[in-house]
């Protein structure tokens, strides 16, 4: 089991309603969200639209609103909501004994789609 999941530290590092970032050397920066309902999600930190940093958006329910053009992205699926189309990769995350773990292979291989024109 150890090795499949990467320990990224205690859950208390991210206050509810906020996100923190985890750069991956040679890969995409990951945004880890903590919702007001106390759930944790991890996504590539790039809006499928124009690569806006989702970690800086307003979190409501389990949706984040991108800070650049207000696209709403589902934290669960990475899909753009409403009339917008696009999807950003999500990384499996789990919480165990007050610590957060990300799936290693997904973390390394996650790749954001090209930004839209």
Partner 1 sequence: MNAPNLVKIPEGDLRERLVVVGNGMAGCRAVEEILARDANRFAITIFGAEPRVNYNRIMLSPVLAGEKQFDDIVINTAEWYVENDITLVSGDPVVAIDRAAQTVTSASGRIEAYDRLLIATGSEPFIIPVPGKDLSGVVSFRDLDDVDKMLAAAANGGHAVVIGGGLLGLEAAHGLSLRGMDVTVLHLMPTLMERQLDEAAGWLLKSELERRGQTILTGADTAEILGKDGKVVGVKLKDGREIPASIVVMAVGIRPSTALARQAGLDVERGIMVDDHMVTSDPAVMAVGECVQHRGICYGLVAPLWEMCRSLADAAVSAPSGYTGSVTSTKLKVSGIDLFSAGDFSGGADCEDIVMRDAARGVYKRVIVKENKLIGAVLYGDTADGSWYFDLLKREEDVSDIREALIFGQAFAQGGGALADPNAAVAALSDDAEVCGCNGVTKGTVVSTIKGGACSLDAVRSQCKASASCGSCTGLVESLLKLTLGDDVKSGPKTLCKCTSFSHDDVRRLIVEKELKAIPQVMQELTWKTPDGCASCRPALNYYLLCAWPGEYVDDQQSRFVNERMHANIQKDGTYSVVPRMWGGVTTPNELRAIADAADKYQARLVKVTGGQRIDLFGIKKEDLPAIWGDLNAAGMVSGHAYGKSLRTVKTCVGSEWCRFGTQDSTGLGIKTEQMTWGSWMPHKFKIAVSGCPRNCAEATIKDFGVICVDSGYELHVGGNGGIHVRATDLLSKVTTEQEALDVCAAFIQLYREQAWYLERTAPWIERVGLDYVKAQLFDDPEAVAKLAERFHYSQQFMQDDPWARRAAGEDAELHQHLAEFRPFPTMQLKEAAE
Name the minimum Å distance from CB 36 to partner 1.
4
Alpha-carbon distance 100 to 2, whole Å? 13
Buried b (16+ CB within 10 A) or exposed e, 61-78: ebbbbbeeeebbbbbeeb
**Which residues ranging from 18 to 77 are in contact with partner 1 (CB under 8 A)?**
18, 20-27, 30, 32, 35-39, 50-53, 56-63, 65, 67-68, 70, 72, 74, 76-77
Q: What Cα–Cα distance (Å) separates residue 81 from each residue in 10, 29, 46? A: 30, 22, 15
Interaction between residue 4 and partner 1 (CB under 8 A): no
Please pick, from the candidates 4, 83, 86, 107, the single residue that binds partner 1 as defined by CB under 8 A: 107
Q: Does the protein bind partner 1 through residue 106 (CB under 8 A)?
A: no
């Amino acid at each position: 089991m150890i090795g499949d999941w990467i320990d990224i530290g205690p859950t208390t590092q991210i206050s509810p309603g906020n996100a923190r970032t985890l750069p991956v050397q040679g890969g995409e920066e990951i945004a880890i969200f903590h919702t007001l309902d106390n759930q944790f999600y991890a996504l590539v930190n790039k809006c499928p639209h124009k690569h806006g940093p989702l970690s800086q958006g307003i979190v409501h329910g389990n949706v984040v609103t991108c800070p650049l053009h207000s696209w709403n992205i589902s934290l669960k699926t990475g899909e753009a909501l409403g009339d917008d189309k696009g999807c950003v990769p999500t990384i499996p995350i789990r919480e165990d004994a007050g610590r957060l773990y990300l799936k290693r292979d997904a973390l390394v291989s996650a790749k954001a789609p090209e930004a839209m024109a």
